[in-house]
Amino acid sequence: QVQLVESGGGSVQAGGSLRLSCTASRFSNICMAWFRQAPGKEREGVAAVDSAGDTAYADSVKGRFTISRDNAKNGVYLQMTGLKPEDTAMYYCAATGGRCWGPAGLLSRQQHPWWGRGAQVTVSS
């Protein structure tokens, strides 16, 4: 079992930046990811980082978002820059003990058994 607690988020104007943080109760050999869900839409993967620090991103955020982890602090972070109104969503920290991504890219929601409660990000135009 892994408990996840997010912090950060908030409201920002388009073009601005925000940073999300997530602390895990267990971190060794755990793949960490960020998902987001906008009202009326499916929850989608945003980025993932494996225990070695290798990363993967959704095409929609490549070049704007950066995921990182600090193994000493059991923390994973999502630095978001160049924010757009379409980035508005509830952002969730997620974790899985298996592989971090597949040939088709980020893993699905169903492949992550552990979740945080979410942090709201709102980007105004």
Give Cβ neighbours of residue 66 (< 8 Å, ≥ 6 apart): 47, 55, 78, 79, 81
Residue carrying structure tokens 């950060």? 8
For 53-64, the pLDDT digits (tens) are: 999 999 999 999
For 31-72, the pLDDT digits (tens) are: 999 999 999 999 999 999 999 999 999 999 999 999 999 999
Residue 17 has pLDDT above 90, yes or no: yes
| CA neighbor of 27 nearest in space, from 2, 54, 60, 52 | 2
Residue-level pLDDT at 42? 96
For 73-104, the pLDDT digits (tens) are: 999 999 999 999 999 999 999 999 988 998 88
Q: How far apart are CA 125 and CA 88, in angstroms?
A: 11
